[in-house]
């Protein structure tokens, strides 16, 4: 286990599952029984004991934990099933640094865990970090698969909830701060667009299904870049005409990858192929205009341009949100003005 793992000790894993799910929203979590000896358990950040302390095996387990080297630096939260002072005294004698009622909501337990283990972090901070890591791993696997063949659409589906959850829990600004730490420009861009799209969809009051749809489309919209030569894809500075022509093939290539993968919805296919089309017909790859461009594509195009403007790259300084919105507003005739205004309201809290 890595240095950030939280261990939940449980004598009833079925009863503890809601707690385990809540812990996993902020950190890696391992569940062990009261037969745990701790001698094979690597570094850990904290322990939650969801056990009946009156049982001999529970006491033995916690005594073994207290004898573990470095245990004094590991917070131990005991969930007690009694309210008497004797119950709390027993828990403290077994090494508890904090006692909470076993009836406490899992979210409250996690909040206490965070204060014990990461006093300089909030639950929202940890949720966003955790979800960004999950989405980043998905992007790595997705682009690796797409380099030579099809992608697994169900795995893409598993990347949607982390983005929506992070935006719901921590807001767009926290998501951007986390994603900006990614070194890979393409991954950073896809995660930026997905977070921006999720926040925009949320602000527009779209249904849960439509929020999932837009976030999914944002995650894979640039999958075609997996087959663009790295010399072009990661070139610092402007592309020449030949390089630009190669780069522009990423949209139809992405559409081809998703079509060959099977199980991809029509909106995601359309967004992937057409997200560089403009209302005045000046975009690519097909020179669509006006009514030929569907509303979801128009929405994602705005998110895509905004994300590209605020990206942080080694060779260029990012624009501020205000500067990026000014550019979007100046693209009258190319982007839908009403959507641009709504988008500005959706990201107005971004620094």
H or E element, residue 278: none
Task: Give residue 140's Cα distance to chain centre.
Answer: 13
Q: What is the pLDDT of residues 27-84, one digit of tens each?
A: 999 999 999 988 877 778 899 999 998 899 999 999 999 888 766 678 999 999 876 7
Could you tell me the pLDDT band of residue 182, with boundaries at 50, 70 and 90? low
H-assigned helices in the chain: 13-24, 56-66, 85-93, 106-117, 123-146, 153-157, 160-179, 185-203, 208-220, 230-233, 241-247, 250-261, 266-274, 295-310, 321-329, 337-346
Q: Nearest to residue 142, comparing CAs of 187, 109, 83?
A: 187
Percent of the chain with pLDDT over 90: 65
Mean per-residue pLDDT, 244-271: 95
- Contact, 168 vs 123, CB < 8 A? no
Mean per-residue pLDDT, 262-268: 94
pLDDT at 3 over 70: no
Q: What is the pLDDT of residue 181?
A: 75
Q: Domain boundaries in the chain? A: 6-117, 123-346
Q: What is the pLDDT of residues 190-210, one digit of tens each?
A: 999 999 999 999 999 999 999
Question: Which position has the token pair 């998905």?
Answer: 138
Mean per-residue pLDDT, 147-175: 90
3 state SS of 335 = strand
Q: What is the pLDDT of residue 71?
A: 63
Mean per-residue pLDDT, 265-292: 97
pLDDT at 299 over 50: yes
Question: Which position has the token pair 């406490």?
Answer: 104
- What is the sign of the dihedral through the CA atoms of 148, 214, 181 and 44? negative
CA–CA gap between residue 93 and residue 97 (Å, rounded) = 10
Name the fold adopted by 123-346.
Hypothetical protein af1432 (1.10.3210)
Name the fold adopted by 6-117.
Rossmann fold (3.40.50)
Mean per-residue pLDDT, 21-26: 92
Q: Do domains 6-117 and 123-346 have the same CATH topology?
A: no
pLDDT at 315 over 80: no
């Amino acid at each position: 286990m890595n240095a950030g793992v939280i261990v939940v000790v449980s004598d009833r894993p079925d009863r503890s599952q809601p707690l385990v799910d809540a812990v996993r929203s902020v950190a890696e979590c391992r569940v062990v029984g009261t037969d745990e000896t701790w001698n094979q358990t690597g570094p850990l950040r904290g322990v939650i004991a969801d056990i009946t302390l009156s049982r001999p095996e529970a006491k033995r387990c916690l005594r073994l934990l207290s004898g573990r080297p470095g245990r004094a630096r590991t917070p131990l939260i005991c969930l007690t099933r009694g309210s008497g002072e004797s119950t709390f005294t027993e828990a403290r004698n077994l090494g508890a640094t904090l006692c909470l009622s076993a009836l406490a909501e899992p979210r409250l337990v996690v909040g206490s865990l965070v204060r014990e283990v990461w006093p300089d972090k909030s639950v929202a901070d940890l949720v966003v970090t955790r979800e960004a890591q999950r989405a980043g791993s998905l992007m790595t696997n997705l682009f690796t698969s797409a380099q030579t063949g099809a992608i697994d659409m169900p795995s893409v589906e598993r990347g949607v909830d982390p983005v929506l959850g992070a935006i719901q829990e921590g807001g767009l600004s926290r998501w951007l701060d986390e994603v900006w730490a990614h070194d890979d420009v393409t991954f950073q861009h896809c995660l930026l667009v997905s977070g921006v799209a999720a926040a925009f969809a949320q602000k527009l009051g779209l249904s849960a299904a439509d929020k999932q749809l837009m976030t999914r489309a944002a995650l894979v919209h640039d999958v075609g870049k997996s087959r663009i030569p790295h010399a072009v894809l990661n070139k610092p500075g402007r592309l020449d005409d030949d390089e630009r022509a190669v780069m522009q093939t990423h949209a139809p290539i992405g559409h081809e990858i998703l079509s060959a993968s099977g199980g991809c919805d029509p909106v995601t296919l359309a967004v992937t192929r057409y997200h560089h089309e403009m209302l005045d017909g000046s975009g690519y790859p097909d020179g669509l205009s006006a009514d030929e461009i569907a509303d979801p594509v128009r929405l994602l195009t705005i998110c895509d341009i905004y994300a590209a403007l605020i990206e942080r790259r080694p060779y260029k300084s990012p624009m501020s949100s205000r500067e990026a919105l000014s550019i979007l507003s100046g693209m009258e005739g190319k982007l839908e003005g009403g959507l641009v205004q709504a988008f500005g309201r959706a990201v107005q809290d971004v620094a």
